Amino acid sequence: MSERPLDAVKRASKKADRAPHLRKKNQTGMDTIDVLDETGFGGAYHHDGPYDATLASRNRDKRYAPVEAVKYGNQEALKATPRENVVDSLERHVPLQGTATIPPGARDYGGRVMNYEEGADLMREADAPGGAYKRWDNVKYHPNDLKGKGEPSYTIEEDQKKQKRMQNQTLHPSGVYEMQPTARTSGRNDKDDDVVVRQRSTSLGSAGTSSPKGKRLSDGIKRRIGSLRRKHDEP
């Protein structure tokens, strides 16, 4: 069909339109992204996203279902995840955490034995299936270089990070804290405020500034001087 390219394009387009997920009964309704579209389509055009692969219309046929492609990997990941983390992900709708943190044969938080097969570490093992992660034959790598930066880039960046940490420790040594005012919460009462005021007055007196005792002495001296002036002015 090279001499008739337009017919080839029409045939391919017609075949694509017969896809199950493009049929009217399987089309996806408006979602949040479609509602935000202000180009004038009025929600008639669906914007594909990363989660469209999980729709029922895309997974009716197991031969072409996207979810089937990751079925085995998801099963193995769930086996390597403690049950508490799986329940937390399902009920609270948070990303799945704790996968493979407990080694095979060990017990999880509930005392259940983790029974799964530990695969190859694609980030560290050079003989992993598919080859090592971001590794080239003509580049040298540090053993701790997991992102494949190579040498001397990895060593230079680590030295810069180390110098920055040392500078921060010099400017902000450990054990020194900067006091910041805190907003008054609804749970505090007048007694708590009175305690805070007393603590502040005590700390000011210990620091060498005005204290309640010194304030009383100064008020007494002012009263005495004022009385002497009044007696002197009297006839």
Q: What would the pLDDT profile of 159-171 be if each residue is shown by its tens digit? A: 999 999 998 888 8
Residue 204 lies in a domain: no
Residue 49 lies in a domain: yes
**SS3 for 107?**
strand
Mean pLDDT of the chain: 75
Residue 19 lies in a domain: yes
Residue 216 lies in a domain: no
Residue 56 lies in a domain: yes
2 and 33 part of one domain: yes
The predicted-structure confidence for 176-215, as pLDDT tens digits, reads as follows 556 667 655 555 555 555 544 444 444 444 444 455 556 6
Residue 207 lies in a domain: no
The predicted-structure confidence for 109-129, as pLDDT tens digits, reads as follows 889 999 998 877 777 777 777
109 and 155 part of one domain: no
Percent of the chain exceeding pLDDT 70 equals: 62
pTM: 0.44
Range of the domain at 110: 70-119
H/E run at residue 168 = helix 153-171
114 closest CA partner among 99, 124, 104:
104
Residue 210 lies in a domain: no
Q: Report the distance separating Cα 95 and Cα 92, nearest Å.
A: 9
pLDDT at 133 over 70: yes
Residue 23 lies in a domain: yes
Percent of the chain exceeding pLDDT 90 equals: 23
The predicted-structure confidence for 68-122, as pLDDT tens digits, reads as follows 999 998 999 999 999 999 999 999 999 999 999 999 999 998 899 999 988 777 7
